[in-house]
Structure 1
Amino acid sequence: MRTEDLDYQLDPELLATRPVEPRDAARLLVLERTPGPLEHHQVHALPELVQQGDALVLNETRVVPARVHLHRPSTGGGFEALVLPSHDPEHIGCYVKGAKRLHAGDRLEVRDDAEHAVGILEVLGREGEEVRLRLVEGESLGALLEAAGQVPLPPYILGARRDRGESDALELDRRDRAWYRTVYQAAGGQMSVAAPTAGLHFTQSLLDRLVAEGVELVRLQLEVGPGTFKPVTTTRLEDHPMHRERFVVEAEARRRLQSVRTGGGRIIAVGTTSCRALESLPEVLSGETIATETDLLIAPGHRFRHVDGLMTNFHLPRSTLLALVAALVGLDRLMDVYTQAIAHRYRFYSYGDAMLIR
């Protein structure tokens, strides 16, 4: 399909730079997969909008404070970096602004908000857009990020905050540490550099109410990488180099999903990340734990094998996430829904409102 078919115009005022509070007070636009009228609710009404026996599939990945500032001690030059998910304690991959000024053997300090050095990284080289480094001073990568890292908010939120004069970056980062994470994220396991944003709307009270109504909450982990921010620049969507992301679905989760399917319930993915993981599973749902990677591009024409419904935020134009949602309801219908959402002043993107497709 043509990438330009995924384009639309958004009033910049509708780009949300912070979430509503409480989380489940966000607005929820509800539509059926088959044509019909739209309904306007709030997320806290979700238990009345799904059915007993349905499953909501949650991505419990953990967002790490992966945005760091690096300094070259010899010259004082600074760099902003995004640390990529890594399971190698020795070597670290980063996207670095100004990476062309870096060379193998350079040593870079990682500094906290008070400008104290908390670790030193050595540049090993570059692999495409990625700069490879190793930790030469400091306890661990995790400790370094906790001490000096900032929340890896999408660039469009940071840009909108600057444009609107929301300039208290340190105070906002402290608040983002609570805002930009789900209440159900795992303590360990997968590390993500972006949140599964549909999940940001859930409170513990809402989760408890869903369980009380007989809704299954099934958890998996998909490690959200920086590719989620990458715009589609190719003329045809199919030519876009799709990013790979690790995911894990435990055997017990697969068994519960099969039980829901056998019992006639619907499998509703909470977020596009959960959807990608589910659609990357084998045809038979039940089975052993799966820990692998996916580069699945879901676009119009995709035959959904496991996902019956989707709760998701409103996505950027010309994005693979928008294409995924279009695959579920049809491109023309989705663009009409987005036109109506804009007319009703829904808030867009990571900190914005949500839609439920059922």
Structure 2
Amino acid sequence: MKKSDFNYLLPDALIAQKPLAERDASRLLCMDRNTGEITDRLFTDFIDLIQPDDLLVFNDTKVIPARLFGSKQSGGKVEILIERIVDDHHAIAHVRASKSSKPGTLIKLDEGYCCVVQGRVDDLFELEFADVNLLWLLEKIGHIPLPPYITRADDESDLTRYQTVFAKESGAVAAPTAGLHFDLAMMDKIKAKGTQTAFVTLHVGSGTFQPVRVEELSEHLMHKEYFAVSQATVDAVQQTRARSGRVIAIGTTAVRALESASNSGQLEPGFGDTDLFITPGYQFKSVDAMLTNFHLPESTLLMLVSAFAGYDSIMNAYSHAIDQSYRFFSYGDAMFLSWRIGR
């Protein structure tokens, strides 16, 4: 398949610019993976669609305030988006300025802090923050890195709403958005129902928003993201399989973590960088069902869900969602892709 096969027209009015007042107030499009049948529900119905023998796998990554603003010594304005923290004083980042920043360039940041450009890594820059702990600095002067399709500036509410209630491991520069629908009350309901939960970590990078720029999918270079899957999660998946329950990934990032750890053919504990690019024809090894948001046209995430639930079915579901005015992207509504829906 080609990139253009995954294009669709979305009215700007359907791109959610802000979260709803309550996390669980979104709508939920349910699609049966076997038949393609679509039903329109509310996210609060999700608790009725899962069973005690199922396993929900969440991504516990935590979004860091990864956007910094500053200026060069010449006075030119600079915007930095941290892509990856290397250690306490070094990072790989996107740097936007009127002219490309050369090695040795000093960038002055807010409140008197600064960093120095050390070099390039493809389209990214190596930065050194010599005199301050980077994570501490981001918490002090950083901004929440809202996606490019959210056209407003970040505000105080984004500090909590662009973060899952179970976020734990700092390192993401974008939220695992399917998890944003869960509040503490929903987590308590899941526990009370007896449905099992497990966690993986995948630090979502800004590359998740980058469009595929080549028409031939085989030529696309996937961005790398750090993932970790523990022995406890592997055991939980195996136990779910043994009782014929469903392994339900909460978000495409949880899918990529589980499938990256299944590279040998079976799920194993592990960690490291993954550049797994899932397109139609991929054979899923560890995931039976998925909760996900609606994804950008021609994006790798749209290709992933098409591989999971079928290209024609997904494109039909997206057409239905547009006709029914679902809210799209990070702060938007959700989809549940599964078999045994409403069993």
Alignment correspondent of 1:149: 142
Shift of 1:100: 3.9
Decide which moves more: 270-279 or 39-48. Answer: 39-48
Distance 2:215 2:122 in 1: 22
Which secondary structure state, in structure 1, belongs to the residue aligned with residue 188 of structure 2? helix
Distance 2:297 2:147 in 1: 14
Alignment correspondent of 2:237: 257
Shift of 1:127: 2.2
Look up the equivalent residue of 2:96 and give its one-letter code: K
User: Could you report, residue by residue, the CA deviation over 1:297-344 in whole angstroms, capped at 9, with x for unpaired residues?
Assistant: 111101111110110000000011000000111111111111111111
Look up the equivalent residue of 1:16 and give its one-letter code: A
Shift of 1:41: 1.3
Look up the equivalent residue of 2:81 and give its one-letter code: L
Identity %: 41
CA contact (8 A) 2:67 2:81 kept: yes
Which secondary structure state, in structure 1, belongs to the residue aligned with residue 130 of structure 2? strand
Q: Which runs of 5+ in 1 are unaligned?
A: 162-168
Alignment correspondent of 2:46: 46
CA contact (8 A) 2:59 2:254 kept: yes
Aligned to 1:234, which of 204, 207, 214? Answer: 214
Shift of 1:133: 1.5
CA contact (8 A) 2:266 2:285 kept: no
Distance 2:208 2:162 in 1: 15
Alignment correspondent of 1:15: 15
Distance 1:220 1:102 in 2: 36
Alignment correspondent of 2:65: 65
Q: How does 1:331-350 map to 2 (within 5 A)?
A: 331-350=311-330
Distance 1:221 1:311 in 2: 16
Alignment coverage as a number of residue pairs: 336
Alignment correspondent of 1:164: none
Aligned to 1:126, which of 120, 125, 135? Answer: 120
Alignment correspondent of 1:178: 160
Change (3 A) 1:100 1:125: farther
Look up the equivalent residue of 1:179 and give its one-letter code: R
Alignment correspondent of 2:76: 77
Shift of 1:154: 0.7
Alignment correspondent of 1:221: 201
Shift of 1:98: 2.3
CA root-mean-square deviation: 1.4
CA contact (8 A) 2:59 2:201 kept: yes
CA contact (8 A) 1:71 1:109 kept: yes
Change (3 A) 1:104 1:87: closer
Shift of 1:84: 1.7
CA contact (8 A) 1:271 1:310 kept: yes
Which secondary structure state, in structure 2, belongs to the residue aligned with residue 157 of structure 1? coil
CA contact (8 A) 1:99 1:131 kept: no
Distance 1:337 1:104 in 2: 48
Distance 1:24 1:140 in 2: 36
Look up the equivalent residue of 1:25 and give its one-letter code: A
Decide which moves more: 318-327 or 273-282. Answer: 273-282
CA contact (8 A) 2:25 2:43 kept: yes
CA contact (8 A) 2:266 2:286 kept: no
Look up the equivalent residue of 1:49 and give its one-letter code: L
